[in-house]
Structure 1
C-alpha cells in the first residue's frame, strides 16, 4: 500500500430535507404484503432517494459474482476511485435501511413478546439487508476485548475482561477450552499460527501448530493493542510506550528490540501499512512511525479526544475517536498525511473494521458507544445497516467466506455472514 500524493479535499455528507415523521415512514405491514388499513397513515411506497434521515428506497442488487472471501482486513485494497469520492452518494447511495423503532424488544429477547409482527420494536439484532446473524457464543462474563482466528486452525479464540480466553470449535460452535490468564485481556490478535494476548504487564504468545507458549515481559500496565509488522511484534501499553519484539527464527522466540515513548498517555490502537506503523493514543494524537528505523515521522493532532482505532485501507488511513468522528487521511505532495474527509457520528466511535460484502463492495463497520455498529458503503459513507447489542461492541473480527464476529460488553460473541443473495430485511 503506497500513499499517493493528492490535493486535500473535504466534503460534507449529503443530507436531505426533513419532513413530517408520521407521513415519512414506510408502512412495514405494507412491506410484508399484509396491510389492511384503509386509509393507512403511512407510506405504501418507498421514500425518494434524497431522504437520508431514516428510510429510503430499497437497495438494488445486481447479479455480480462474489469477491474473494479471504481475510480482507486492513491489507486488502478495495478499488476506491480517489479521495474526491469520500462521502459522496453514488450507486443509489442514500440510506438504504428500512426500520421500525430502533430498539430491540425486551420481551422478544426474553422469548415472551405477544405482539409478533405487530410489535413496534425490533425482533432482531440488526437492521438492513445483505447480512444475517448465524449464531451466538455464550460463556464469557465480561466485555469481549479480542477475537482471533489463527491460520491453519479450525478454532476461534476470544479474550475477555473476565480474565479468561476461550477456544471455540468452528464447526460445532462449542467452547472446548477455557484458559485462566490471571488478568484482564486488553487485546487479542493472531498472525499466522500465533495467537497474542495482552494482559497487565505481559504479552502471552501461543503457537497453535507447535503448542509453544511464551510470556513476553516488559509492558508497564495493561496492554491495550497489538499488531505485527514484518518480523516485529508491537504492543501499545498503559504507560504510553510501544514495545517492540523481533522474531528469531533460529530460537523460535521473540526478542526485545525497542521501546517507543513519544506518546504522553496510553496507546490504545495500532495498525501497520505502507511500511509505516500508526499509533492512536489517549493523548488525542496519532503518530506515524517508520518501520525501517522506528523513528516518529509525523504527529497528527486533528482529533479532540481518545483515538480509539486506526485502519489502513488502500492508500488511505482511517481513524476514529470518542470525539464522534471518523477521519479519512491521505498523503499530500510532501508525503505528510492530511484529512481528506470527516464523517460525523452522534456518539463516540470505538472501533473500525473493513471488509467486502458478498458482491465485493467495500464496507466499513463502525462501532459506537450507543451499543450499535453502523455499516457503511465506502467511499460514499452511505448507511447500509446497523447491528444492535445489549452493551457496547468493542471487538470486531473478519473471518473467511463473508463471516464476521462481534463481541460486546455482556461477554456475548455473535457470528454474522454476508448473504450471497441479499434479502430485503434483516434476519
Structure 2
C-alpha cells in the first residue's frame, strides 16, 4: 500500500480527539497540524491540534516490560499476548513509513517551544556554578522536550546501573549495578528499602511475573518476590549480559558466546538446564523474544534468529558493522542498534527471512533501545547513545521529541506502570520520569 509519510503516518492509529464538526472554524480546530506532525510547527498559538489521539484508557496506560507472550507460563510467567519485546503494544494496523518525516526536521527540535541551544549539558550548571543563567548557550536542564518531565532521582549505587526491574504485584523497584549490589526502592516513598551484595558485577536484570532474575559472572540469581525463593542457576561461563523469557524458558546471553536456557520444574521448585545454543563467536549482549522467535545480538556484530520450538538458528543477520548492543520486537518489525551509529528496522520478506527496511543514522554509537507509548497513545522510541544522552523519537517517523542528558552514559531504560519510565546511568543514579500531556491549542 502506498503511504504518504507526511500526511498519513499516524492516521491509522486512531481518531483525532473530538467528533466531526459542521464547518468553518470548528472543523479547522479539529484538524491535526501538518507542520506539528513533521516536527517543525513554529506558530503559537497554532489554530490546529498538536495531538493525534485521545488519552488511552487506564488499561492501555499500564505498560509491559517486553518479552513475548506464551499461552501458559507457570509461577508468574504469564503475559498479555498484546505485548512483545521492549514494552510496545502490538498494532497490526501500523504502516511501514519509517523515517518519512525525518527529512523535515533539520532545525533543532522543531517548533515545540524548545529554545535551540548547543546540544550539550552545561558542566558549570551541573556543578552549580554557571553565571550565564538563561543566556548560557548550553542546557541548564537534564532534558529537553515537553512530553515528559523528571519526577525524582534515586541515589545510592556507586557504579553504572545495568538493570532495572519491576516485578508484578510488588510495590518495590529493583536496580542492579556494577558495584555488585541490588538495591530495593519503595515506590511510595522513593527511599531505599534494602541493599543486597551479590559478590560480582551485575550484567543485567529481568522481572517476569513475581520473579527477578539477575545476571552475574558465572551464574544467574533468581528470586521469587511472593514465595521468597532464592535460587542460583549455574552453567554460564563468564558474565551474563542479557536475560529474556519465552516459551516457558529462561534464556541467558553469556560472555563466551553461548545462550543458555532453563525450564522451571514445579515439582522440584527449581530451574533445570534445558539447552545451550551455540553460534555466536563473541559475547551475547542482548536478547528479545517475539513472533515465536528468539533474537540475539552479539559483540561479533551479528544478530541470530532462533526458533523457539526447535531452538535451531534460522538466520544470521550481518548488516551491522560493530557490536549489536540492543534488539527489540514490535508489531511485525525487529529493531536493532549498534556501536556502528545506526538503528536498523527489519521486516520479514515472503520467504520469512528478515531484511533491513530502514536504517536510521546517529552521530554516536548506540547502547540501548526501549519503546513505549506516550500519554496520547503515540509510539515512542528511546535511544541511548554513548554521548551520555537519550534521544526520544516518534515512530515510525523518527522525528525527535526531545533529549535526556546525563553526566555519564545511560545503560538502562525501563518502562513502568501508568505514565512512568526509568533510566540508570554511569554515575549510579536512577532517574524516574513521567510522561506529560503536550499543550493542545484550539484557538
Indicate the SS of the match to 1:227: strand
Tell me the residue number matched to 1:70. Answer: 62
Aligned partners of 1:86, 1:229: CA distance in 2, in Å? Answer: 28
Partner of 1:244: 261
TM-score of the superposition, structure 1-length normalised? 0.83
Q: How does 1:162-201 map to 2 (within 5 A)?
A: 162-201=179-218
Q: Does 1:126 align with 2:115?
A: no
Shift, 1:112, TM fit: 3.5
Are 1:317 and 2:319 matched, yes or no? no
Mapped partners of 1:69, 1:51: distance in 2: 25
Aligned to 2:99: 87
Q: Is the 8 A contact 1:83 1:340 kept in 2?
A: no
Distance between the aligned counterparts of 2:389 and 2:309, measured in 1? Answer: 38
Asked whether 1:61 is paired with 2:46, we answer: no
Aligned-residue offset at 1:231: 1.1
* Post-superposition CA distance 1:155-195 (Å, at most 9, x none): 00000001111000011111111110100000011000000
Query: How far did 1:104 drift?
Result: 2.0
The correspondence of residues 17-416 of structure 1 with structure 2, limited to 5 A, is: 57=42, 61-62=50-51, 64-66=54-56, 68-74=60-66, 75=84, 76-79=88-91, 81=93, 84-89=96-101, 95-96=109-110, 98=114, 99-416=116-433
Query: Per the alignment, in what secondary structure is the counterpart of residue 259 of structure 1?
Result: strand
The RMSD of aligned alpha carbons is: 2.5
Taking the aligned partners of 1:292 and 1:407, their CA distance within structure 2 comes to 34
How much does 1:421 deviate?
4.8
Q: Tell whether the 8 Å contact from 2:181 to 2:198 is kept in structure 1 after alignment.
A: yes
1:179-233 C-alpha deviation (Å, 9 max, x unpaired): 1010000001100000000010010000111111000000000000000112100
**1:61: how far off?**
2.5
Q: Is the 8 A contact 1:353 1:366 kept in 2?
A: yes
Unmatched runs of 5 consecutive residues or more in structure 2: 6-34, 67-83
The secondary structure found in structure 2 opposite 1:401 is coil
Query: Alignment partner of 2:205: what SS?
Result: strand
SS in 1 for 2:371: strand
SS at match of 2:202: coil
The alpha-carbon deviation at position 394 of structure 1 amounts to 0.5
After superposition, the Cα gap between the structure-2 partners of 1:217 and 1:271, relative to the gap in structure 1 and judged at 3 Å, is same
Flag structure 1 segments of 5+ consecutive residues without an equivalent.
Answer: 1-5, 12-47
Deviation at 1:119, TM superposition (A): 2.6
SS in structure 2 opposite 1:113? coil
Q: Is the 8 A contact 1:391 1:409 kept in 2?
A: yes
What secondary structure does 2:418 align onto?
A: helix
Q: CA deviation at 1:50?
A: 11
Shift in CA distance, 56/73, structure 1 to aligned 2, threshold 3 Å: farther
Residue pair 1:73, 1:355 contacting (<8 A) in 2 also: no
* Contact 2:50-2:440 within 8 A present in 1 as well: no
**2:61 aligned counterpart, secondary structure:** coil
The question of whether the paired residues in 2 share the 8 Å contact of 1:130 and 1:423 is answered with no
